[in-house]
Amino acid sequence: MAVQFDVFPDANNFQSTADPIIFQVSENVVDTYFKYRFILQVLDENSNEVARLKTHMLSASNQVAVFDVSRIVDDYLGTIAFNTNDTDASLVTLGRTGHTPVNIIGLSPSAGPHVAKRFQFRLGYEDAVSAAEPPTEYLNQVSAKYVRCFRNEFTNQGENYGDRGKEFQVAQDTSNFMSSAPDLGTTSAFGSAFGTVREHRIGTDQAAVITWSNDQGTGQYIQIRGFEADGTTIATAYIDSTTAGGTAAILSDYQRVYQMGIGPLNLEEHASATSNTNLTTLITDADLAYYEIYASASTSVSDAFQDSVVHRFTIDEGCSKYPRVQLMFLNRHGGWDFFNFDQKSENSLNKIERTTYNRPRGNWDDVTTSVDWTYYGWERGVSVTSVKAERQVRISSDYVDEGYKSHLRDIATSPEVFIVDGDNLIPVLVTDSEYLFKTSANDKLISYSFTLLRSNRPRLK
């Protein structure tokens, strides 16, 4: 008997659990078998078995089988919403004063959860000497296969099944951060050779985070350049990921994905802590209109070393009479994105529930030979013992470009959304059951609204 892997995923490229992760196996010795089943063991990076899958040959004449492990490995992936350099603080404090500011990059906790994991797959089989005997397992019969897995939505637009590649492992100019920020067709201020930018809008007093991976990548440095409104360069700086919380050698699951503080607050306070004068100059300049970032294989600015698309952060202080609401949300690629809602917001308490009981009025327990029964006008009959309610807020965006429709759709479908309140994250649920992709042809001026439910009820009584 000789089992073998026939088809298996690439060992280096991230594989999305939203798509089938397929192992096709076969037995190449044709024979009569009793109770034969292929065995695929799924193990973590420490060789701990997390699952043991068994399946039959398709037929006696077609000694092959197919395993899809996507749902199994997905159970072992998670998200990080806290600063792993200061686990009492939220993710938006990365690089901030008082939260180990020299480390603007956060990894995953060593014990998990992990945003991406490398799994080991071992192939074996079981069979019996006769139909009357129980089968015996023969494990790990061929060289193991390894697969890096993460959560990335796959919206099938008619594509055939295939390896989707390493888009989010920064290694070339088409690689990307784990962000769904839109490409509105604006050429990078670094130069036309750098391509078009992905757009973000943020205030100078705000923090934000961007998610990325250098696993099997070469983008060790994050290049940052600030610009005035007319495109004049203010200054250029870089952050070396290996000295800012990342690592030069990615050997374990907790190192595979980086969360990096990228908002003006994160960059300014990190620059101060690390004496990065160029970064301080560009991020504190009064004429800063926007700054652009990309992953690079070098400290030098050149498209020859460009290892990701360029992301632009446009300074937008908001000019609305309404208080700004900043959301942090898990996007379709498994990373965090941020968006500001500057128009009308309405807070409300809904589904108010009261638990009551009817208390007979009177001093029933106090009557004596010298105290007569009576009652007072202020005594309650029906009394409230507890009150429960749900707190909701309805938020609205400013007018936005049509190109934001897919980006903001991620808020509507995100399993994890937070309101950013200073250094704190308030967990909320998006309750809207419909999302309309608005177009300028249909809607002229485009704005989006969402209803958010606080995931923790207020304690009212």
For the domain that residue 17 is a member of, what is the CATH number? 2.60.40.1930
Q: What is the pLDDT of residue 31?
A: 86
In the chain, the percentage of residues whose pLDDT exceeds 70 is: 97
Q: Are residues 17 and 145 in the same domain?
A: yes
Same domain membership, residue 131 and residue 219: no
- For 288-293, what is the mean pLDDT? 98
Sorted by sequence, the CB contacts under 8 Å of residue 266 that are 6+ apart come out as: 92, 94, 95, 96, 104, 207, 208, 209
And the tokens for 176? 């990307």
Mean of the pLDDT values across residues 409-435? Answer: 95
Can the peptide bond before residue 101 be classed as cis, meaning omega within 30 degrees of 0?
no
Residues 138, 219, single domain; the answer is: no
pLDDT at 248: 87
Q: Judge contact between 260 and 115, C-beta under 8 A.
A: no
pTM of the model: 0.91
Name the token pair of 96: 């901030």
Q: Quick one: 48 and 196 in the same domain?
A: no
Helix or strand run (H / E) with residue 441: helix 440-443
Asked whether residue 324 is domain-assigned, the answer is: no
Average pLDDT over residues 273-289: 97
Q: Are the C-beta atoms of residues 2 and 54 closer than 8 Å to each other? A: no
- Tell me which long-range contacts 378-385 makes (C-beta under 8 A, separation of at least 24): 382/356, 382/357, 382/358, 383/356, 383/357, 383/358, 383/359, 384/354, 384/355, 384/356, 384/461, 385/355, 385/356, 385/357
Q: Can you give the pLDDT at residue 194?
A: 98
Question: For residue 413, what is the enclosing H or E element?
Answer: helix 405-413
Q: Is the pLDDT of residue 159 over 80?
A: no
Over residues 5-61, the pLDDT tens digits come to 999 999 999 999 988 999 999 999 888 899 999 999 999 999 999 999 999 999 988
3-class secondary-structure state, position 299: coil
* For residue 338, pLDDT beyond 70: yes
CA distance 230 to 225: 14
427 φ/ψ angles, rounded to the nearest 5 degrees: -70, 135
The answer to whether residues 186 and 267 belong to one domain is: yes
- Whether 360 shows a pLDDT value over 60: the answer reads yes
Domain shared by 303 and 259, yes or no: yes
Which pLDDT belongs to residue 156?
67
Query: Across all residues in the chain, what is the average pLDDT?
Result: 93
Residue 211 lies in a domain: yes
Cβ proximity of 459 and 391 under 8 Å? no
112: helix, coil or strand?
Answer: coil
Query: Is the domain of 144 the same as that of 9?
Result: yes
Q: Indicate if 395 and 303 belong to the same structural domain.
A: no
Say if residue 1's pLDDT is above 70. no
Q: In angstroms, rounded to a whole number, what is the distance separating the alpha carbons of residues 187 and 137?
A: 59
Q: Which comes out higher in pLDDT, residue 87 or 307?
A: 307
What is the domain extent for residue 418? 338-454
pLDDT at 151 over 60: yes
Instruction: In whole angstroms, give the CA distance from residue 53 to residue 383.
Output: 58
160 assigned to some structural domain: no
Q: What's the rounded mean pLDDT across residues 255-284? A: 97
Residues 175 and 306 in one domain: yes
Neighbours of 305 (CB within 10 A): 19
Q: Is 146 in the same domain as 274?
A: no
Decide if 21 is inside a domain. Answer: yes
Q: Is the pLDDT of residue 353 over 90?
A: no
Lookup result for tokens 């089989």: 125
Q: Is residue 48 part of a domain?
A: yes
Name the β-bridge partners of 281: none
Which range is least confidently modeled, 275-289, 301-315, 419-433, 446-460?
A: 446-460
- In this predicted structure, the answer to whether residue 439 has a pLDDT above a threshold of 70 is yes
Instruction: Kindly state whether residue 323 falls inside one of the protein's structural domains.
Output: no
Residue 157: the pLDDT is 66
Question: What is the reported pLDDT for 165?
Answer: 57
Given this model, what pLDDT does residue 164 score?
59
C-alpha count within 13 angstroms, C-beta hemisphere, residue 247? 15
Strand partners, 213: 169
CA 148 to chain centre: 16
Q: What distances in angstroms separate CA 308 from CA 57, 149, 174, 294, 374, one per listed residue?
A: 44, 20, 6, 6, 82
Residue 322: inside a domain, yes or no?
no
> Beta 145-150 vs 136-138: how paired, if at all?
unpaired
**pLDDT computed for residue 359 by the predictor:** 87
Flag whether pLDDT at 230 surpasses 70. Answer: yes
Q: How many Cα atoms sit within 13 Å of 302 on the Cβ side?
A: 6
CA-to-CA separations, 74 to 21, 55, 109, 144, 217, in angstroms, rounded? 11, 20, 18, 20, 23
Interval 164-188: pLDDT, tens: 557 899 999 999 999 999 999 999 9
CB 19, CB 161: distance < 8 Å: yes
226 and 261 in a single domain? The answer is yes
CB 214 within 8 A of CB 220: yes
State the average pLDDT over residues 380-408.
91
List beta partners, residue 433.
Answer: none
241 and 176 housed in the same domain: yes
Encoded tokens for 235: 């200054």
pLDDT mean over 356-360 = 90
Query: Where in 49-106 does DSSP place strands (E)?
Result: 49-55, 64-68, 105-106
| Domain-embedded: residue 155 | no
pLDDT of residue 167: 86
The residues near 155 (Cβ < 8 Å, ≥ 6 apart) are: 332
Counted domains in the chain: 3
pLDDT tens, 69-120? 999 999 999 999 999 999 899 999 999 999 999 999 999 999 989 999 999 9
